[in-house]
Structure 1
Amino acid sequence: MSDNRPLKVVLCWHMHQPQYLDPSSGNYQLPWTYLHGIKDYVDMAAHLEAIPEARAVVNFAPILLDQLESYARQIRDHLREGAPIRDPLLAALDSPVPPAGNDERLTLIQDCTRANRKNVVDRFPAFRRLVGMAEWLEGDPEALLYIDDQFIADILTWYHLAWMGETVRREDPRIRGLQEKGGGFTVEDRRHLLSIIGELLEAIPERYRRLAENGQVELSVTPYAHPILPLLLDFRSMRETLPESPLPERSTYPGGVDRARWHLREGVETFRRHFGIAPKGCWPSEGAVSEQSLQLLTEAGFTWAATGEGVLGNSLGKKYEKYGDTAGASLCHPYQLRGTGTPCFFRDDELSDLIGFQYSDWHADDAVGDLINRLEQIGEATADQPDPVVPIILDGENAWEHYPENGYYFLSGLYQRLSEHAGIELTTFSDALEREVPVNDLEHLVAGSWVYGTLSTWIGDKDKNRGWEMLVDVKETYDRIVEEGRLDEAALREATNQLATCEGSDWFWWFGDYNPADVVRDFERLYRLHISRLYRTLGVEPPEYLAHTFAHGSGRPAHGGVMRPGQAQ
């Protein structure tokens, strides 16, 4: 590695949860937004706060920011005024009386077992015993007759304690006190825990805003509800990598350009409202890009974007050398598509996937050492190239439950050793560009994403295509009702926001039988509810087909399918 030119490394963490609100009941159907809030979004801020020399890019999906705000407000209003909490699991934490019916009690108990068994459940002996009893009850539901309210209070409390961020667990004496108590939790204990959860959620945007003001973090954004921009613009972009892939009945999404612009505009405004600044960069949802979508990013004023390594490999073809000695075909430089003004960085799949999938089973020191050794080798391989940049980009929330203690030792060691390394410089995408790293020209870009370099995760499967056809149907109805002027201003705003939720990427991610059955069931049902709610908002009765399940799962992907490697195995 060159002694006088440190290798620039960008750690980019993407934070994202879809809209889990059931539009028919007004309740959140899945608790992952607030649970990842108290575990991962809190911890990821704390690790950076602990090492001021460390730097990173942190990307937030705007629909996640709005949900975090909603949870914090609900908890605050509940504690002050007794207002309802719209998440059944979180509401149960502060309920003085558990549900009386056996079905409701069993559902609540089962919900309190949804966590990584090895690193979250088994770590705490008291919680492990409670989960063991819950599994016994699932096999013999009639035994619920012998389960008292204290068991439900204890498993609820331990579930939330187990999901607590490791930095909170180590630093907050209130959490340590509840853990040391071990059981017999009172209503006051549970309300105390709820207030801590509210504090943590409410502080998340401000903590990241301070990190940005201090220059440690560059905050970036995705389009508002996390849609796949190339597919909103043209379903046929899928065939740029997979020419024979089957597509939905319609080749284009109606009014897709205007919808893409809406998500970009609304995403920036939401980001600005939460952080008080405008974002410079955009991680397009799932790193999905096409030539047309990059033009829209330029139009929206973004000074950088990022995507997957496979997109660059497909675009450069045989010229691509990753970290070879040809600077014009190397991953370690941003590229700018001709006719656009937004340079694009490309994810190092190998390094990113090591963090996401492999290092969780290693000793933290060995994992950090291995990553640094690989970066040193890249530094040597690119010693003759001007200002190389290595982008490491991955999910900022789902990997850590697979690490001991929520990745505490790995993340703290990673930031500490990278920030101290004389041959490595942690930086951000904007700073790299401001320091005038070379930007290569790109004559042509092949549409794709960070997953396999294709768009196959969201289209091309029969269930995914059916989901798009349902969305096309309701979008055509939306366009007709709007054109006829049948909605007042408030109803139009509600319908437009509901449409945005339906356009999110997560529904299509989970459709497909290679995914787990229980997760497909949850997301498929919620998708049909959201589509149905949009019809009703428009004053139209939903089609009969929305009453019937159309997607099933039977697979067992790594990490439950919430993460995928960048390259096909």
Structure 2
Amino acid sequence: MSDKKLLLNLYWHMHQPDYRDQVSGEYVLPWTYLHALKDYSDMAFHLEQNPNARVTFNFVPILVEQLQDYAEQSRIGQWRDPLLRLLSSPDLDHITDADCQLIVDSCFKAHHEKMLSPFPHYQRLLHLYELVEPIMKSGQFHYLSAQFKADLLVWYHLAWTGEGLRRKSKVIQRLMKKGLLFTLEDRVALVDVLSETLQNILPRYKALAAKGQIELTTTPYYHPILPLLIDLNSTQDAMPDAPLPKSPNYPDGHARAIAHVEAAKVFHEKVFGQKSIGMWPAEGAVSHAALSLLAEQDVAWAATGQGVLANSLKELGLEHELAKDYLYQPYRVTNGQQDIVCFFRDDQLSDKIGFEYSKQYASEAVHDFIQSLEAIHANSDEDTTPVVSVILDGENAWEYYPYNGYYFLHELYQALSRHPLIQMTTFSDIVALQQSQALPQPKLLEDICAGSWVHGTFSTWIGEPAKNRAWDLLCEAKRQYDQHVHKLSVSAREKCQQQLSVCESSDWFWWFGDYNNAQSVTSFDKLYRRNLSNLYHLLGLVPPDNLSQSISHGGGNSENAGTMRRGTS
């Protein structure tokens, strides 16, 4: 048997958009801190429990900024997140109707099968609410007692704790065992545990990186789609017939793209004490211009989707290379002066973790994953070293797994780290091996077809009426920004630039579309228009009337609630 090893890049992408109202500082949606308690905590826990495992984590700067903000809120005990403020409120008898509505609207938002049904007391709260929901709709928000609201707030936060936290925290265990009639003392004890967890998230990842167990990377600061900022027409590389926004291009988009990349690099090094050698472009979105920009900013490597590579090879007339080994190697993209190494995601293996393995026993899922890697190893040429990149969302998948994916991840890391033919590694390790000539130099990819990790296209963010309208609203706001921002003071200009950056995030465009859940679409639609309106206000302008009109209504039933997409359709 050959002693050649398969090199596995397991890459977990961590991202949430900015959920703060930039004017008030209040959090509009709670997803950053909830994923911190459940997923960012658990993902660190698994590496701490499996010291021989080696992976890469990607933290988007705007997520890290919010994690720092929550940690600071917890230190001083002044919450700007309404749910955390209500959880610690000493008087739930006299809260406002709006707060009552927020509790019942928010505290059943979880995957019911895996996060609500396992807890009989939480289920009972849902059944009670379903009985009185018609009364609530008539405006009788205080029909539910303060005790009901206290119990619901506690159970919601208990359901959003990670399995590692549940196994370590005596407070969490005691509250789960108690089940009901939670007191203010109980709620304060829970808030203390949540506060400690939030404060420790980033230090835990820094410690893992300092030990060399993980690589940490970044993304352009507010998670914009770089190729679309640079050139909206790049949409048609992979979708030649796609309709485009009315605006011919995003004004001064190339400079905005550079600003996001530069800010991300500086912020990442400041927070983690290490430079980000490579970068996951938001949504794996690349084009030749975007990769050239990254190379010019001294980014050594980037990663994207399998569909982008397939489309690029076809465009170059190299269909014959779409054979067994084309995916399992890095490529080099050049602008003639700077090069960047590009890795491509194995869509099938990545999507199995994201969508399929949650439906199987952990041992069966891990066995299938290992067998798939063994088959790639066995089918590779004797003189090649297969490099497999498995890249996916590191936060949203786990609520669909039993026990937040605890058994799957525990067994997966153990199996991978012990396997004689598989070496868990990182992207920067592979680049270093190529530079030292321990591995062959990456093959030149002379051009790249613009696209993302989702289907190899930009269809999730542009090319249909609602998404195009959202782009037109952003382009018009940017034109107004360019005309008026120079008239403001330095501090006012900085606030406007920050608000503009928030509006440039990819997330708003992700959610527009009839295939997404109506409730999620409504939340993100309102927040996007609120952000654009805030930009106008900061510029000293009256927001246009069209920002009071919904962009998209949703109504579909996307897989995994629309928080994730498969790489292939």
TM-score bin, normalised by smaller chain: over 0.9
What letter is aligned with 2:348?
E
What letter is aligned with 2:129?
A
2:467 paired residue number? 464
Call closer, same or farther: CA 1:228–1:499 in 2, change over 3 Å.
same
Deviations 1:265-310 (A, max 9, x none): 1111221222111100100000000000001111111111000000
The reply to whether residue 266 of structure 1 matches residue 290 of structure 2 is no
Q: CA deviation at 1:86?
A: 1.3
Deviates more, 1:133-142 or 1:168-177: 133-142
> Hey, what's the Cα distance between the residues in 1 that align with 2:190 and 2:176?
11
Secondary structure of the residue that 1:113 maps to in structure 2? coil
1:386 paired residue number? 384
Call closer, same or farther: CA 1:320–1:218 in 2, change over 3 Å.
farther
Q: How does 1:34-73 map to 2 (within 5 A)?
A: 34-73=33-72
Aligned residue pairs: how many?
Answer: 557
Contact 1:113 1:134 in 2 (8 A): no
> Hey, what's the Cα distance between the residues in 1 that align with 2:241 and 2:10?
36
The reply to whether residue 474 of structure 1 matches residue 471 of structure 2 is no
Q: CA deviation at 1:544?
A: 1.4
Contact 1:514 1:557 in 2 (8 A): yes
> Hey, what's the Cα distance between the residues in 2 that align with 1:106 and 1:169?
29
Q: How does 1:89-104 map to 2 (within 5 A)?
A: 89-98=83-92, 99-102=94-97, 104=99
Q: Which runs of 5+ in 2 are unaligned?
A: none
What letter is aligned with 2:21?
D
Secondary structure of the residue that 2:509 maps to in structure 1? helix
> Hey, what's the Cα distance between the residues in 1 that align with 2:134 and 2:364?
41
1:116 paired residue number? 111
Call closer, same or farther: CA 1:146–1:238 in 2, change over 3 Å.
closer
Deviations 1:237-288 (A, max 9, x none): 0000111111011221111111000000111122122211110010000000
Contact 1:535 1:541 in 2 (8 A): yes
Deviations 1:447-505 (A, max 9, x none): 000000001111111111111111111111111123xx311111111111110000000
Q: How does 1:364-513 map to 2 (within 5 A)?
A: 364-436=362-434, 437-438=439-440, 439-482=442-485, 485-513=486-514
Q: CA deviation at 1:23?
A: 3.7
2:250 to 253, 259, 265: 253
Call closer, same or farther: CA 1:181–1:191 in 2, change over 3 Å.
same
Q: CA deviation at 1:548?
A: 1.6
TM score, norm. by length of structure 2: 0.95
Contact 2:396 2:564 in 1 (8 A): yes
Q: CA deviation at 1:26?
A: 3.1
What letter is aligned with 2:10?
L
Contact 2:54 2:424 in 1 (8 A): yes
1:561 paired residue number? 562
Q: How does 1:135-534 map to 2 (within 5 A)?
A: 135-141=130-136, 146-317=143-314, 319-320=318-319, 324=323, 330-339=326-335, 340-436=338-434, 437-438=439-440, 439-482=442-485, 485-534=486-535
Deviations 1:164-221 (A, max 9, x none): 0101101121211121221221112111111211111111111111111111100000
> Hey, what's the Cα distance between the residues in 1 that align with 2:222 and 2:334?
28
Secondary structure of the residue that 1:553 maps to in structure 2? coil
1:129 paired residue number? 124
Contact 1:323 1:332 in 2 (8 A): no
Deviates more, 1:23-32 or 1:517-526: 23-32
Deviates more, 1:363-372 or 1:131-140: 131-140
Deviations 1:309-351 (A, max 9, x none): 00000001163578845x5xx1111111132411000000000
Call closer, same or farther: CA 1:323–1:375 in 2, change over 3 Å.
farther
Secondary structure of the residue that 1:342 maps to in structure 2? strand
Deviations 1:93-141 (A, max 9, x none): 0011125455642431231100010110011111111122222232342
Secondary structure of the residue that 1:21 maps to in structure 2? coil
Q: Which runs of 5+ in 1 are unaligned?
A: none
Secondary structure of the residue that 1:452 maps to in structure 2? coil
> Hey, what's the Cα distance between the residues in 2 that align with 1:45 and 1:202?
14
> Hey, what's the Cα distance between the residues in 1 that align with 2:566 and 2:125?
34
The reply to whether residue 539 of structure 1 matches residue 533 of structure 2 is no
Deviates more, 1:134-143 or 1:200-209: 134-143
What letter is aligned with 1:75?
S
RMSD over equivalenced CA pairs, Å: 1.5
Q: CA deviation at 1:433?
A: 1.5
1:549 paired residue number? 550
Deviations 1:415-442 (A, max 9, x none): 0000000011110001112122331100
What letter is aligned with 2:526?
R
Call closer, same or farther: CA 1:320–1:216 in 2, change over 3 Å.
farther
> Hey, what's the Cα distance between the residues in 1 that align with 2:443 and 2:13?
25
What letter is aligned with 1:480?
Q
Contact 2:292 2:334 in 1 (8 A): no
> Hey, what's the Cα distance between the residues in 1 that align with 2:319 and 2:31?
39
> Hey, what's the Cα distance between the residues in 2 that align with 1:145 and 1:497?
39
Contact 2:306 2:345 in 1 (8 A): yes
Contact 2:313 2:322 in 1 (8 A): no
Contact 1:29 1:87 in 2 (8 A): yes
Contact 1:365 1:410 in 2 (8 A): yes
> Hey, what's the Cα distance between the residues in 1 that align with 2:65 and 2:95?
33
> Hey, what's the Cα distance between the residues in 2 that align with 1:77 and 1:322?
58
Deviates more, 1:252-261 or 1:171-180: 171-180
Q: CA deviation at 1:25?
A: 4.2
What letter is aligned with 1:157?
V
Q: CA deviation at 1:24?
A: 5.1
> Hey, what's the Cα distance between the residues in 2 that align with 1:434 and 1:361?
38
> Hey, what's the Cα distance between the residues in 2 that align with 1:105 and 1:420?
51
What letter is aligned with 1:381?
N
Call closer, same or farther: CA 1:517–1:256 in 2, change over 3 Å.
same
